[in-house]
Structure 1
Amino acid sequence: MNVSVALPETALAARTARVAVIAAKHADDVDHAGRFPKEAVDALKAERLLGIQIPVHLGGEGASLEQIAEVCSTLGQACSAVAMIFAMHQIKASSLVEHGEESEWHTQFMRRIAAEQLLLGSATTEGGIGGNLRNSICAIEREGTICRLQKDATVISYGSDADAILVTSRAHADASSSDQVMTVFLKDQYSLEKTHVWDTLGMRGTCSDGFLFKAEAPAVQIFAKPFAEIAAQSMLATSHLLWSAVWHGIAADAVMRAQSFVRAAARRSPGIVPPGAIRLAEVSSKLQTVRSNVIAGLRAYAETKKDPDALMSMGFAVTMNNVKICSSETILDIINHALLICGIMGYKNGTPYSVGRHLRDAHSAQLMISNDRILGNTANLLLVHKQDTSLLG
């Protein structure tokens, strides 16, 4: 388990701010061209932000999830794609940090992440199961000290640009679809044959194409802990919380653009309250709701992670599901408000008040993982679990 130490907030904020400047400069081009945000990812590596979650004794900085979420939000205000790439990388890193030190190979791999600033990709989706990450069709094959895997991955997060990919599969050929393991494969251990092009409405710069993934590596690269435990004890929480932090950043930048628009209107007509001022007040409260929701979720995780059994409880799953649902749905309302405030100047691309990219990127939030799937899961849990109605938990 990772033991976090105090990472100077000012130092981390300054490093993040430098990356955000670069990310914002290229954000519109990244979106328009649907290209990988190489400039900003190179800046993440130069600022050594990819290894901040790795424990100090392994060469990292032991950053807390709260600190990582703040980086996600800041980057989200600059470029949604960069922020999502950083979040996805840190979600994968959390699996290593929380479950990898039992293995010498995974421990040494964490050292490499910190030293070499390796970018981690994810391959959990698969043809035939869609976005249900708790089921797999493909099965890993073990032959002596070697393992092999072939997976029809409909989406691999920035697959062509990752330095390593963490892949889920059935534990063996006779395993059920939910009896899964996760394996780390390094870039020189796999081949990618593109099968789907990532031509999407938003989040275009994440370049999450589909591939036929074929890999061979030492079997020690398979996590010892079943994926069911990894998902429940780290991935569920870190995914919902860091994604929500990204979405907060997207919405926050849209609100800032709307505020700038209202202020400019007020300067043009002194003494007259601009028409969008009331909507700006309304949207400010909605943004605060998202912020409070994410902060409450981060605190709940910090408290609950002290007990591995509690991390796998129904109550904790409901809490994390609710964080994701609230954040992903509310940001669309926020950005729509910003659009109404800015009017045609927000609708047009290339203006200081443009929020079209924000709105398109935000629509991905309800699809990662599908809100309908999450609500169905929560509904089943609430059939047997009493809803927590206390104010302070």
Structure 2
Amino acid sequence: MIVNQEATIGDRNGQADSGIKSRPEGSIPLTTNQLVGDHQPRPTSTELAEGEERKLARKADLVSRADAVAAAALQSAEAVDAQARFPHESFQAARNQQLLGIMVPTELGGEGASVSDVADVCYILGRSCGSTAMIFAMHQIMVAILVRHARNSAWHSSLLRRLGAEQLLLASSTTEGQGGGDLRSSGSAVERQGSRIAFTKSATVLSYGLHADAVVTTARRAADAAPSDQVLVAFLKEQYRLEPIASWDTLGMRGTCSAGFKFEGNGEADQVLPVPYQTIHSHTMMPVAHLTWSAVWTGVAAAAVERARRFVRTTARRNAGQLPPGAAHLTRATMSLRGLRDAVELALVRFEKAGSCADRLEAIEFQNTMNLLKVTASETAIAVALSAMQACGLSGYRNDGEFSVSRNLRDALSSSIMINNDRILASAASTSSLIEVPHLLRSV
């Protein structure tokens, strides 16, 4: 346990715990402007208003930049899907708009964006190209891990600074061998030789590995460590070699290029993140992954609903106001989408309030909520896309045409398969019985 004379993050809206507290290793210190002690003057109403204006201006700027990337993504989305290729156009636009480094802290040259900000961008991109949005989400999950658990490490803070300046793209390797879906177990171990490390693994799924500038991978801490005693290691592109072992020709999310590789990396011991993976997984990786993925799937579903909406309106105009037979399905799709959006937004608020408080992040109810968000979001996104297709009828079922929902539905279907819902439900089953049924309908 590292004791640091800084407060831990509390509510993004300023409800941080007062006073100086010890914080666990890997948590994030509040910046000076976030600490308001009793001896400091309270901001005036004018200062609060100006602060809110700046916040709104930053938000508008981020949305504008995300919209620009989404426009580029939409232009190439069909080709990316048809050819199962990396969305180069999207990520050139993302680099031009400086989006890859938005979560990098301001003191390291970034914008200090929140996970909620990132989720907004994921949703916007998801409406144009599911593969682009998913790659962006996977990249930002790794950035969040570095920011929340390794920003005080010299090597990793240097990587974050480079990421912001050069707009590097981070990939992750958390699957291994035939049991690759179990993120909490690693067979391959880090080999240490003095200040150097070497690492080899069979990464059965390594999304956009050939197009990344760095890979963050799970590993067993040492050869004599248990499979569950894991660490994360960051390797730069020039420090590893990828040997293809499996191709990627799938129904949806084809542009993620999630092929399999034999991964061989060499680097410095300092490249191992200072916090155990067990902590990183529960505090950041799982919740941020499920939040950003859910935002992506919500965006994909929203694109399907928008096509169905345009189909119903166009058909009604052409037929003297008479709605097409499938119009009722648009109602279901629209309301289900609203419910999905609300669920993701509520989960984001809950995560931001938890901040880096270990007690909140490790609470059974919080962990189950974040796990089941992924299950609910994936199932709802699929249902929404199906309803949208039914609203469009044959026009939605086609692979071509302006009302085709084919790509959206196929991308949505990946949500329950690529990270299997059954595995998540099974892992949550043992703790679900410990959560009490609420006594009241509303929280007090």
Q: Tell me whether 375-384 or 190-199 shows the greater mean CA deviation.
A: 375-384
CA distance in 1, matches of 2:274, 2:425: 30
Where does residue 90 of structure 1 map in the other structure? 140
- Runs of 5+ unmatched residues, structure 2: 1-27, 35-54
Say if 1:3 and 1:15 are closer, same or farther in 2 by CA, change over 3 A. Answer: farther
Superposition deviation, residue 121 in structure 1: 0.2
State which of 284, 289, 295 in structure 1 corresponds to 2:345. 295
Q: Tell me whether 235-244 or 367-376 shows the greater mean CA deviation.
A: 367-376
Where does residue 395 of structure 2 map in the other structure? 345
Q: How does 1:1-393 map to 2 (within 5 A)?
A: 1=28, 6=55, 8-388=58-438, 391-392=442-443
Cα pair 1:233 1:305 within 8 Å, conserved: no
TM-score (ref. length: structure 1): 0.97
Superposition deviation, residue 265 in structure 1: 0.9
Total equivalences in the alignment: 393
CA distance in 2, matches of 1:279, 1:215: 51
Say if 1:2 and 1:62 are closer, same or farther in 2 by CA, change over 3 A. Answer: farther
CA distance in 2, matches of 1:388, 1:353: 43
Superposition deviation, residue 385 in structure 1: 3.2
CA distance in 2, matches of 1:231, 1:171: 15
Aligned to 1:113, what secondary structure does the other structure show? helix
Which letter does structure 1 place at the counterpart of 2:142? K
Q: Tell me whether 377-386 or 74-83 shows the greater mean CA deviation.
A: 377-386
Cα pair 1:248 1:291 within 8 Å, conserved: yes
Cα pair 1:129 1:136 within 8 Å, conserved: no
Alignment RMSD (CA, Å): 1.5
- Runs of 5+ unmatched residues, structure 1: none
Cα pair 2:206 2:258 within 8 Å, conserved: yes
Cα pair 2:66 2:124 within 8 Å, conserved: yes
Superposition deviation, residue 273 in structure 1: 3.4
Superposition deviation, residue 268 in structure 1: 1.0
Cα pair 2:204 2:245 within 8 Å, conserved: yes
Aligned to 1:148, what secondary structure does the other structure show? strand
Superposition deviation, residue 266 in structure 1: 0.9
Cα pair 1:198 1:207 within 8 Å, conserved: yes
Cα pair 1:233 1:308 within 8 Å, conserved: yes
Superposition deviation, residue 387 in structure 1: 4.6
Superposition deviation, residue 199 in structure 1: 1.1
CA distance in 2, matches of 1:243, 1:387: 28
CA distance in 2, matches of 1:365, 1:287: 15
CA distance in 2, matches of 1:13, 1:63: 12
CA distance in 1, matches of 2:207, 2:140: 12
Say if 1:271 and 1:347 are closer, same or farther in 2 by CA, change over 3 A. Answer: closer
Aligned to 1:361, what secondary structure does the other structure show? helix
Superposition deviation, residue 3 in structure 1: 5.5
Superposition deviation, residue 377 in structure 1: 1.5
Cα pair 2:104 2:112 within 8 Å, conserved: yes
Cα pair 2:283 2:356 within 8 Å, conserved: no
In the TM superposition, what whole-angstrom CA distance separates every residue of 1:200-223 from its partner, at most 9, and x where no partner exists? 111110011110000100010001
TM-score (ref. length: structure 2): 0.86
Which letter does structure 1 place at the counterpart of 2:425? L
In the TM superposition, what whole-angstrom CA distance separates every residue of 1:350-370 from its partner, at most 9, and x where no partner exists? 211111111111111012421
Cα pair 1:3 1:55 within 8 Å, conserved: no
Higher Cα Rg, which structure = 2
In the TM superposition, what whole-angstrom CA distance separates every residue of 1:130-168 from its partner, at most 9, and x where no partner exists? 211110100001111001100100011100000000000
Cα pair 1:2 1:62 within 8 Å, conserved: no
CA distance in 2, matches of 1:282, 1:360: 19
CA distance in 2, matches of 1:262, 1:79: 23
Identity of aligned residues (%): 45
In the TM superposition, what whole-angstrom CA distance separates every residue of 1:317-355 from its partner, at most 9, and x where no partner exists? 111012111100011111111111111111112211111
Which letter does structure 2 place at the counterpart of 1:239? A
CA distance in 2, matches of 1:43, 1:381: 44
